[in-house]
Chain A
Amino acid sequence: DVKVTQSSRYLVKRTGEKVFLECVQDMDHENMFWYRQDPGLGLRLIYFSYDVKMKEKGDIPEGYSVSREKKERFSLILESASTNQTSMYLCASSYRGEPRHYGYTFGSGTRLTVV
């Protein structure tokens, strides 16, 4: 069964900590995405990557960075966590050029609480 795996389901961190959220996919997808999901706001794109070592800013990149050293792994980094980054974080992947035909595969999400 193909999947996108996020390393943690629940995470509690302190303000100012550096936080790493990991995402691994086993489908040989070129595209990987990080979204945050908040009530009433829906899914908002933070960063995405079309290939290894490539990254593009999404709609809300401030306070975040990403790393893609291997095709299967896409990491989201909160350089200095703040309480307004408390949210559900979802990773997704897709074949290059194919989302409009096949869609994304999503991970199960990481619910991050910053205290």
Chain B
Amino acid sequence: KNEVEQSPQNLTAQEGEFITINCSYSVGISALHWLQQHPGGGIVSLFMLSSGKKKHGRLIATINIQEKHSSLHITASHPRDSAVYICAVPPNTGNQFYFGTGTSLTVIP
């Protein structure tokens, strides 16, 4: 049973394309995190959001708590955006996260 589902699992895009990664979850939460992992590297946090939309540069994250769904968008994608993007949800009880399996993004010049 997966508490967090991400799609797609793999994504290849041409430089400049608009990219969307989706995350659906089944547990009750008050916030959701989007994480980024570059090849061979550790994991860093991109966004934490509990409602609406957040924007950081070319990255936009949206969430609908009622529908239990979040999306991560990348505008004007660039090869340096190539990474694994992971959706993480901390349930309202407990100290642990549930993680999606990740979306591996490759942006081709």
Contacts and interface: CB of A to CB of B under 8 A. Distances in A.
Contacts of B97: 99, 103-104
Contact of A106 (B29, B40, B42): B42
Interface stretch (A12-20, A43-51, A64-72, A75-83): A43-51
Interface in A59-115: 90, 92, 94, 96-97, 99-104, 106-109, 111
B30 interface: yes
A98 to B, nearest CB: 8
Nearest to B42: A108
Given A100-B31, A109-B41, A43 B48 contact: no
A42 B45 contact: no
B40 to A, nearest CB: 8
Contacts of B45: 103-104
Chain A: interface secondary structure? mixed
A96 B95 contact: yes
B30 A42 contact: no
A108 B31 CA distance: 24
A89 B86 CA distance: 16
Interface stretch (B66-74, B75-83, B99-107): B99-107
How extensive is the interface on chain A, given as a class? 20 to 34
B90 A109 contact: no
A53 to B, nearest CB: 17
Given A90-B42, A106-B42, A42 B100 contact: yes
Nearest to A91: B42
B45 to A, nearest CB: 5
B21 interface: no
Contacts of B99: 42-43
Contact of B90 (A9, A48, A50, A99): A99
B9 A40 contact: yes
Contacts of A33: 96
A50 B88 CA distance: 20
A103 B42 contact: no
Interface of A: 4, 9, 31, 33, 40-43, 45, 48, 50, 90, 92, 94, 96-97, 99-104, 106-109, 111
